[in-house]
Amino acid sequence: MSGELTERVERVRLAQVSSRLSVEERRAHLIEAAIGLAEKKGVAGVTTRDVAQAAGVSLGVVHYCFENKDALMTELVKALSMELRDSVDANESVWQEAGSGNTALRDLLRAGLELMWLNIEATPQRQLLTYETTTYALREGEQTPAKLAIAREQYNFNDSTVADILDHARDATGSTWRVPVSQLSRFTLSVIDGIVLRWLVDNDSESVRTQLDLLAQALAGHAD
């Protein structure tokens, strides 16, 4: 079967699948198509027409689900953030067997960071995409404030995710934070951003785990 024919058959199959989806399922399907495209060609190069073609639906379906590309990109960054949140929640036993005290808090935070890191390490292209969505939003935001909102939404959501993890760790170990969780989450996210970006450059996973040890220790130092 020729490449062109294979592609045509795949589009028909995708269209048939899409026709059976609910609105929420169709939105998720389009977001995943957008992520796949953005991983290959960058956020700036993705159009709603590209997404429609990749998902095997009409352009009208995309605009029915998302008002415009900015709305789609906003949901894209949320989806990427949810993947990290889900990776930390994946092993509930980590939280249930935490113990108590500062050492237990440090170990629990480190275990949570490890779960997050395993997801990051397995998806380097998606991690690069998170930085691209931020720079895309900042670069375009000067002319279009709605694009700047994409970056702010991304970081607000990630701040909330990290704050939830910190609160979960606090409760699981009977600890108390001496610093507002909003500040701790902002600090944690900033450090993780830097760690991941450096890893994308040098691919030194061993060094990453040392940095995560230091981060867990630093965070635990702000708790009683």
Q: Along the 224 residues of the chain, how does pLDDT read in single tens digits?
A: 555 555 554 454 545 545 556 788 888 999 899 888 888 888 888 889 999 998 888 888 888 888 888 888 888 888 887 877 777 666 667 667 777 889 999 999 998 899 889 888 998 988 888 888 888 888 876 667 777 888 888 888 888 888 988 998 898 899 999 999 999 999 999 999 999 999 999 999 999 999 999 999 999 999 99
Query: In the chain, which residue ranges form alpha helices assigned H by DSSP?
Result: 3-19, 23-41, 48-55, 59-65, 69-89, 93-96, 102-122, 124-141, 145-173, 181-202, 205-220
Q: What pLDDT is attached to residue 4?
A: 58
d(Cα 176, Cα 178) in Å, to the nearest integer? 6
Q: What pLDDT is attached to residue 212?
A: 97
Q: What pLDDT is attached to residue 220?
A: 96
d(Cα 150, Cα 66) in Å, to the nearest integer? 14
Q: What pLDDT is attached to residue 8?
A: 53
CA 13 to chain centre: 28
| Partner residues linked to 177 by β-bridges | 223
Which is it for the CA torsion 179, 181, 183, 188, positive or negative?
positive
d(Cα 170, Cα 219) in Å, to the nearest integer? 11
d(Cα 47, Cα 122) in Å, to the nearest integer? 27
Q: What pLDDT is attached to residue 199?
A: 96
Q: What pLDDT is attached to residue 78?
A: 83
